[in-house]
Amino acid sequence: MTIIAVTGATGQLGRLVIEQLKTRAPAESLVALVRDPAKAADLGVEVRAADYDEPATLAAALAGVDVLLLISSDAIGQRVAQHRNVIEAAKATGVKRIAYTSILRADDTPIGLGVEHRATEAMIRESGLAYTLLRNGWYLENYAGAIVGALHAGAFVGSADQGRISAAARADYADAAAIVLTSDGHEGQTYELAGDEAFTMAELAAETSRQTGRDLPYNNLPEDAYAEVLKSIGLPPPVAAMLAQSDVGAAQGALFNADRRLSRLIGRPTTPWAAFVAGVLESQ
């Protein structure tokens, strides 16, 4: 039996990957690698403690694992060291294949978050392990806050200008990851994964206006001004700066991809963004 393990399994993407894996492989072949096992009791698979900052936990947790999904850490700035710990432990314990959740166009993205993904991809290539790089585009869920914020403020704001954004639902990326982990033919592959239908922020605003019957325009702001808005609603300054810089990257096309590789991989269209808007509005 091929043993498949997933890091970050108590995270939002990780939980969905475990759910998808359970439909594709025997539950007893699945291992959830988590920082805090107390949060993982409901996953329904074997749980092992694995902290990216604690190499000893990683070596123990990866014993007997054949295929590993490394879900990128959320500790921006510490991720290269953390991911290195996982990759080294995977090599030492005899993991046969590693998949990694990277960023769209990791090799040339203007988005600052790409730096750590680029470095991680390089470490994986140099590790000698068989690998698959899942270069995930933006999550649709990233826009839930913008939609709710616009309902309150009366307008969308951002720095994405006319940039087209091929976002997809976390569940779509999770499905793709589960397929890659449980099927052959993905070794050495780098997949640029994104939603089928792209939108601009003005189109997101227009669709939200249409669905609510309100006039909710999109106001494009310079990067600094948008970062100030994000700080004013309580985001820590480094996070506000990172989000504003990412939006400028979106304006430059960094989040656009028309390959439809994700829908081909999962064998169905990706979640339509207008349906995502409807879901957010229904939840209000």
Ligand X SMILES: NC(=O)c1ccc[n+]([C@@H]2O[C@H](COP(=O)([O-])OP(=O)(O)OC[C@H]3O[C@@H](n4cnc5c(N)ncnc54)[C@H](OP(=O)(O)O)[C@@H]3O)[C@@H](O)[C@H]2O)c1
Chain residue whose CB lies nearest ligand X: 11
Let me know if 177 is exposed, middle or buried by CB neighbors in 10 A (0-12, 13-18, 19+). buried
Q: Which is nearer to ligand X, 82 or 200 (CB)?
A: 82
Integer Cα distance of 280 and 140 in angstroms: 10
Beta bridge partners, 6, equal: 32, 69
User: How many other C-beta atoms are found inside a 10 Å radius of the C-beta of residue 51?
Assistant: 17
Q: Shortest Cβ distance from residue 165 to ligand X (Å)?
A: 10
Residue 49: is it exposed, middle or buried by C-beta count within 10 angstroms (0-12/13-18/19+)? middle
Toward ligand X, which CB reaches closer, 69 or 128? 69
Query: What's the length of the chain?
Result: 284
Contact stretch for ligand X (CB under 6 A) within 68-76, 90-98, 209-217, 274-282: 68-76
Instruction: Find out whether 90 and 62 touch, Cβ atoms under 8 Å.
Output: yes
For ligand X, which stretch binds (CB under 6 A), given 46-54, 154-162, 208-216, 221-229?
A: 46-54
- Please report how close the Cβ of residue 177 comes to ligand X at its closest, in angstroms: 10
Interactions with ligand X, residue window 110-149 (CB under 6 A)? 136, 138-139, 142
Of 136 and 220, the one with the shorter C-beta distance to ligand X is 136
Handedness of CA 180, 181, 184, 190 (dihedral sign): positive
Quick one: tokens of 262? 């994700």
Contact with ligand X (CB under 6 A): which of 28, 53, 224, 259? 53
Minimum CB separation of residue 254 from ligand X in Å reads 12
203 lines the binding site for ligand X (CB under 6 A): no
**Could you say whether residue 10 binds ligand X (CB under 6 A)?**
yes
- Give the containing element (helix H, strand E) for 240: helix 237-251
The binding site for ligand X (CB under 6 A) comprises: 8, 10-14, 35-36, 39, 51-53, 71-75, 82, 101, 136, 138-139, 142
